[in-house]
Structure 1
């Protein structure tokens, strides 16, 4: 088989290359033989979003297979979460070498998730405990035949001590939400889900800057209300006194609360939201700079360029050019 190279998420810019390994939360995503790394992309994206929004104590993921790379894991290797990601059409089977790797991982990892066909690995883990298992309908008959303790039909996920199960990789996303709550708290878990569109209700239009300010403010109701007003008025920015009036407070109280809760001024926060919007338009649209200026309320190209350079150390035009230049080799390989 072709060797699976580890798919490793980049460390956020705020984290130093010398950051001790203990500061990272290592997540191992284990795939069956011959499975494409693309099968793990959705799971990686959840942890990547958590890092992107809230860089402190980042997650570091690797995608591996049992057959090859588990035997050469580095000294001191001890993941905190292992996710065994099986499909829903083909059963996951093991050879003797893979069984030894499986048992090693489960001995060393505080939290294990088995999704899809990975439930058939449970009897081979060596944990000597029968866990209630969420079983996809495709595997229900086989699971009963092998005397797996199946959860009631319709159960999407189960959690029993350190072992969790899910009927598929999609259902596993629900468990990742639970993991984020355990690791980082409810605010961050909900923010990541909202950012990715995993929330169960209508999602709000929160940007990364907005979410970081909300976290810094501890969810302060006034700050949240102000940020929502700012995000609704990016194209034609309001005066701070008008924002204060709509929020039902004095400009002085607004300034004081912002400084106290977020360590920045409302004007600076508003400007960062607009610069972030400009960045999104530069990367994800082909709009000319004049239209981006109008869409972010900066009034002139020179004004946008000045503030953009302060934030990103380069001009908007150079930023866009570099972004697409870095991705050109990937396109040519497609």
Structure 2
């Protein structure tokens, strides 16, 4: 039987810890037998889980012989104990599969096993992971990354996506689909974690020369605007306008405008029943095709997919 070890370190995130425990212990093979044997392991017998203290039945010796090791996220993690890193490296050397949930990617990254590979984590921690481990190609837009032996996933619910993916790899789609139904979860979700990120525009210092220009762009985003139109309103040359925008927002005027249109489209898709082509027109896109392409590039899913995920009753 396939053995899954879940490693609980101090400040472990309870949700990340519980997800693999629930999913793997409930998974059944077609004949009704359990698909997995599960161990909860720790570097110490007692683990601080924030709201409670967890007594773990296995030490790091429980990692030996495990076919898969899951690394849940930790609310605080300054340094991974050396004995933990050594145990994970030893497990990898004998061929064990290592998978992280949310900030558990920082633990896996500390082993060096992700160097030269693509990985993900919660979008809020992606920049920190990339800065701390520059040898890793961090992708903040996906729900999980499968490198074969090493897998990483984004925050919270993406851990469930990862577990279902592992079940499908081990036992096929039928067993994974049953596990997904027990979790009231689709076997595959459309899009990546980009759809869950609030795409606010970069802040502009109060009193900046661009402040009235940005307000004007917000008010006129539904109109067909050219760079020359924006420069004329700002009283600047197009070259100066582009330079000021890059200095103060990190993007060009037209990129900023497109993002503002997408942000407004997200609001309309969430709060109204207007058809997608009408939403595209209302926020300023000349064609619905251009709108769909830009929306998917920014948000990571289609307008229809976004509405299905985030639709709420219109006020």
TM-score (norm 1): 0.46
TM-score (norm 2): 0.49
Name the structure with the higher helix share. 1
